Structure 1
Amino acid sequence: MIGYGEAPMAWGLTRGMGRVLGVSLTDAVVAGWLHRSELAVLVERCQACGQAERCAGWLGRTAQAEALPEFCPNKAGIEALVPR
């Protein structure tokens, strides 16, 4: 199982951002589309962002999206994993 015990909130928010785009970050690592170290960078970037409350609010209102909000520092990295 992939998880980040030292940053559970950032892991949950990062995973949630992928989920609303239809991307499972765990599956992306298992399938080889995303290296585990790249996922760690996404989680670290989320943890350092300082927008956790804003992010959680957006995720709470959003079941599906075509794009992540501009305030997300992982916007480009996660959106790049969306199958086209």
Structure 2
Amino acid sequence: MIGYSETPLAWGLTRGMARVLGVNLAAAVVEGWLSRKELGHLVDRCEACSQKAACSAWLATAAGGPCPPVFCPNKSALEVLSLRH
């Protein structure tokens, strides 16, 4: 199981943003097109973000929206991952 028990909210938000783009982060690591270290950087950026409440609200209504919101610190990285997927 891939997860971040020390930062469960950041892990959940990062995973949620990736899902909006059709990216399964755990599968990406298992399949080898995303390293565990790269995934850790995504979660760390999310953990440092001050927009967690806005992110949660956005995810609650996104329903497969076209891209993460502009305030997401992982926006560009997740968009690149969606192209690789």
The normalised TM-score by structure 2 is 0.94
**Correspondence 1:77 to 2:77:** yes
For 1:5 and 1:76, locate their aligned partners in 2 and report how far apart those are by CA, in whole Å: 25
Q: State the match for 2:18 in structure 1.
A: 18
For 2:27 and 2:78, locate their aligned partners in 1 and report how far apart those are by CA, in whole Å: 13
Letter in 2 for 1:2: I
Deviations 1:43-77 (A, max 9, x none): 00000001100000000001102211100000011
Structure with greater helix share of residues:
2
Letter in 2 for 1:24: N
User: Where in structure 1 are there 5+ consecutive unaligned residues?
Assistant: none
User: Where in structure 2 are there 5+ consecutive unaligned residues?
Assistant: none
Question: CA-atom RMSD, angstroms?
Answer: 1.0
The normalised TM-score by structure 1 is 0.95
Superposition deviation, residue 33 in structure 1: 1.1
Q: State the match for 1:43 in structure 2.
A: 43
How many residues of Structure 1 are paired with residues of Structure 2 in the alignment? 84
For 1:51 and 1:83, locate their aligned partners in 2 and report how far apart those are by CA, in whole Å: 25
Runs of 4 or more, structure 1, over 3 Å off, are none
Q: For 2:82, what is the secondary structure of its paired residue?
A: coil
Identical aligned residues as a percent: 58
